[in-house]
Amino acid sequence: MTPKTKAAVLTGTIDSTGAVTGVTGATYYNTNSWQDMIDTYKSVTPNAASKATVFFNVTANVPGNSVLNSGNAVSSGKSLSINGNNYTLYLDNDTTYTTAQSIGGSDGTARAFGSNGTVSADTTLTVKNATIVNNITSGIFQMKGNNAKATAVYENVTVSNGDGIYGAQPIRNDNGKVIFRGTNTFNILQNHNMNDISSAGADNQGEWIQVAAYTEVETGTTTLNESWGNDQPFYVYYSNSGSTLQVDAGAAMVWNLNKTYTMYYDDGALLVVGALNWNINGSFVINGTVNTSSTYAGGWFMALNTLNSWNLNVGQNATFKATTGGVISLDAFLTGAVKWNFAQGSSVLFNNLNPNQNVVSLAPGLGSGITMTDPKVVSFNTAGGSVFSTTVLTFPVTISGSGLRTHSSSTGYTFDSTYDLITPNKGTITPTSSDIWYRMNTGTLTTFNPTLQVINLSPNNYGSDAPNIAAGKYISWYQPLGFQLNAAVSNMNRIFNISLDPSATKGTPIDGSWSSLINGTSAESLVVGDDRAQNPNIHILVKMTQNNFPNGLQYYWVDPTTKAQTQLNLNSSLQIASITIDSTLPSWIKMTGAGMWYTMTFPTDTGLNIKANNSLLSQTNSNAGTFQYTVANGPS
């Protein structure tokens, strides 16, 4: 039985320098007791310097207390700040920290510090620099109801569930704001195991945030680690104006998810509706598994009654990468529009690991669509049937700005933990996949239903490739990668057989003069690329950087078209090709991948050839020289 704790109103200390509270002249209270914090908060009036805030300075681990299980009303306009000083706060009604009461998140009592009444938006509740063991559903600050609008701030905290299956939900804020600053980690793990993919965790006790009218990551990185089979990150209902999730520039949010029922669940009243807004100006990465958002057939969104549309805005140079096992059903938002806007320099990935799911399915309301305005890269990838189901109607893709390249493949790509979005567009997805490439386009693709497609892209309309692109398991729209030399698939090593017998064909003359031109034993190939515009604009140079037999060997470059021979001099560059117009390429240059690869093939009697004299000694497999190949901008 938990011992009763006598009420105590603490004596405050003036923070003369602001070192404790961050506010010079504010009053703070040293404590390691929930009872003392609650009694003091209720009783004291902050001085003027405290800016209407009661500051608590934690001096030791704070044990659980039965006072947390009753309603402890937050006063409107009276803010609260708890500095944990890296101690552990046990959010529990007793001191048995491995068990919690089975209290569902829909329970109406505001426990810990909370309110069911009116709390103004200028009321701020802050906890920082603390480890929290949470055994009370809805967590430390509980704003419940239409008029509870306090702002809850979490700064440099780690929150983990104490019980394995009950009371894990750490945050509830119906119509106020939830703000994250610094480095925060939230662990919501059934049986304390990220790999547990059962449904052991109690329903409605394992969400990250309940209601979530407004959630913002202001600074640093906030990480959610969740595997709770009956729940999901957000349980949204009775929000007065929808739900906003925002990640500010320079900030990051990471969700490491395993087993979740869906992504958003909402069973609110149809009379109170608003948009779901995701404003990503920093980085938002969802590291899911095949089990993430896959229990519910609708995937990411279930029973949305208060969220009637979805605006996903990925800002300039921002990042949004989502890997899950659930489909995104665009009809989830009643009859509202789904609008995805990807700004200049942004990087976006939708990646589905479920072999039985598309990335996107069904038709959203009118006015929906994807608008891409010069993002760096936007990629869709699936292990399932195709990226876009044929049921995806009224969801046009619009490419505006300078234009984007297209890469589509019949095979999905396997991303590693870095989610590098550039590498998949540097080659075919697999050696056997059917890949389609297009140079930059602007315009609109109206639908992914192959029988209803209307494609208005310029200057490279997809034409007969459109159905295959729509049916692809991988589709990427991206900025050109520029001009490059692809050494990995080039082979410019060449072997020469030299006869020191003057009577042999092309043998070295007996008088010490130079032989006739000696060809290589096999062809050479050099692969370069230039995908920047509608035609290439590059030239290629060769430079001899080392001749290991300067008295016995001379090197020549033989042009494949004219057969002209040019002697190479040490450290002097020679232009060997100019590539400027795809339609007039010579036969020895083949373009593929819409400018990704220009493969130059040099038969044995062209490219690098040599002359020799009889000063050479008999030898085998000797390294005779080193040559540098360079691709440069412009025709010459």
Residue pair 548/633 in contact by the 8 Å Cβ criterion:
no
Per-residue model confidence as pLDDT tens digits over 444-496: 999 888 778 889 999 999 999 999 999 999 999 999 999 999 999 999 999 99
Per-residue model confidence as pLDDT tens digits over 214-252: 999 999 999 999 999 999 999 998 777 889 999 999 999
CA pair distance 504, 547, nearest whole angstrom: 25
Query: Which amino acid would we find at residue 374?
Result: D
CA pair distance 22, 281, nearest whole angstrom: 28
* Predicted local confidence at residue 8, as pLDDT: 87
More confident residue, 117 or 577: 577
Q: Does the pLDDT value for residue 5 go beyond 60?
A: no
Residues 439 and 551 placed together within one structural domain of the fold: no
Q: Does the pLDDT value for residue 609 go beyond 50?
A: yes
Per-residue model confidence as pLDDT tens digits over 469-478: 999 999 999 9
Tell me the pLDDT band of 3, cut-offs 50, 70 and 90. very low
| Average pLDDT of the chain, as a whole number | 95
Residues 389 and 489 placed together within one structural domain of the fold: no
Between vectors from CA 128 to CA 122 and to CA 131, what angle results, nearest 5°?
Answer: 140
Residue 425: burial class (beta carbons within 10 Å; 0-12, 13-18, 19+): buried
CATH number for the domain that contains residue 592: 2.60.40
CA pair distance 474, 434, nearest whole angstrom: 11
DSSP β-bridge partners for residue 223: 185, 254
CA pair distance 542, 575, nearest whole angstrom: 6
Host domain of residue 222: 121-478
Per-residue model confidence as pLDDT tens digits over 549-596: 999 999 999 999 999 999 999 999 999 999 999 999 999 999 999 999
Tell me the pLDDT band of 2, cut-offs 50, 70 and 90. very low
Residues 357 and 416 placed together within one structural domain of the fold: yes
Question: 618-621, long-range: CB within 8 Å, 24+ apart, which pairs?
Answer: 618/500
* Predicted local confidence at residue 1, as pLDDT: 43
Q: Does the pLDDT value for residue 614 go beyond 60?
A: yes
Per-residue model confidence as pLDDT tens digits over 142-161: 999 889 999 999 999 999 99
CA pair distance 492, 490, nearest whole angstrom: 6
Per-residue model confidence as pLDDT tens digits over 497-528: 999 999 998 899 999 999 999 999 999 999 99
Report helix, strand or coil for 42.
Answer: helix
Buried b / exposed e along 60-96 (16+ C-beta atoms within 10 A): eebbbbbbbbeebbbbbebbbbbbbeeebbbbbbbee
How many domains does one find in the chain? 2
Residue pair 348/479 in contact by the 8 Å Cβ criterion:
no
Residue pair 476/406 in contact by the 8 Å Cβ criterion:
yes
- Give me 159's structure tokens: 């929150």
Residue pair 110/59 in contact by the 8 Å Cβ criterion:
no
Q: Does the pLDDT value for residue 283 go beyond 90?
A: yes
Residues 340 and 417 placed together within one structural domain of the fold: yes
| Chain centre to alpha carbon of residue 457 | 27
* Predicted local confidence at residue 6, as pLDDT: 60
Q: Considering the domain boundaries, does residue 297 fall inside one?
A: yes
Q: Considering the domain boundaries, does residue 83 fall inside one?
A: no
CA pair distance 403, 442, nearest whole angstrom: 5
Q: Going by C-beta distance under 8 Å and a sequence separation of 6 or more, which residues neighbour residue 364?
A: 330, 331, 333, 336, 337, 338, 394, 395
* Predicted local confidence at residue 13, as pLDDT: 98
Q: Considering the domain boundaries, does residue 28 fall inside one?
A: no
Q: Does the pLDDT value for residue 310 go beyond 60?
A: yes
Residues 498 and 418 placed together within one structural domain of the fold: no
Q: Considering the domain boundaries, does residue 567 fall inside one?
A: yes
User: Phi/psi of residue 595, each to 5°?
Assistant: 95, -5
- Give me 558's structure tokens: 């033989």
Given 458, 478, 498, the domain boundary residue is 478
Q: Considering the domain boundaries, does residue 52 fall inside one?
A: no
Q: Considering the domain boundaries, does residue 412 fall inside one?
A: yes
Residues 564 and 442 placed together within one structural domain of the fold: no
Residues 460 and 491 placed together within one structural domain of the fold: no
CA pair distance 597, 609, nearest whole angstrom: 25
Per-residue model confidence as pLDDT tens digits over 231-241: 999 999 877 78
Given 478, 499, 527, the domain boundary residue is 478
Report helix, strand or coil for 145.
Answer: coil
* Predicted local confidence at residue 260, as pLDDT: 98
Given 478, 506, 533, the domain boundary residue is 478
Residues 396 and 529 placed together within one structural domain of the fold: no
Residues 245 and 369 placed together within one structural domain of the fold: yes
Q: Does the pLDDT value for residue 270 go beyond 70?
A: no
Q: Considering the domain boundaries, does residue 241 fall inside one?
A: yes
* Predicted local confidence at residue 271, as pLDDT: 62
Per-residue model confidence as pLDDT tens digits over 182-226: 999 999 999 999 999 999 999 999 999 998 899 999 999 999 999
Q: Does the pLDDT value for residue 273 go beyond 90?
A: no
Q: What is the mean pLDDT of residues 421-431?
A: 95
Q: Does the pLDDT value for residue 615 go beyond 80?
A: yes
| Least confident residue range of 26-35, 401-410, 497-506, 565-574 | 497-506
* Predicted local confidence at residue 579, as pLDDT: 98
Per-residue model confidence as pLDDT tens digits over 339-365: 999 999 999 999 999 999 999 999 999
Q: Considering the domain boundaries, does residue 360 fall inside one?
A: yes
Residues 490 and 453 placed together within one structural domain of the fold: no
DSSP letter at 509 equals P
Query: For a pLDDT cut of 70, what percent of the chain falls above it?
Result: 98
Q: What is the mean pLDDT of residues 87-114?
A: 89
Residues 128 and 220 placed together within one structural domain of the fold: yes
How many alpha carbons lie under 13 Å from residue 597 in its C-beta half-sphere?
19
Residues 301 and 378 placed together within one structural domain of the fold: yes
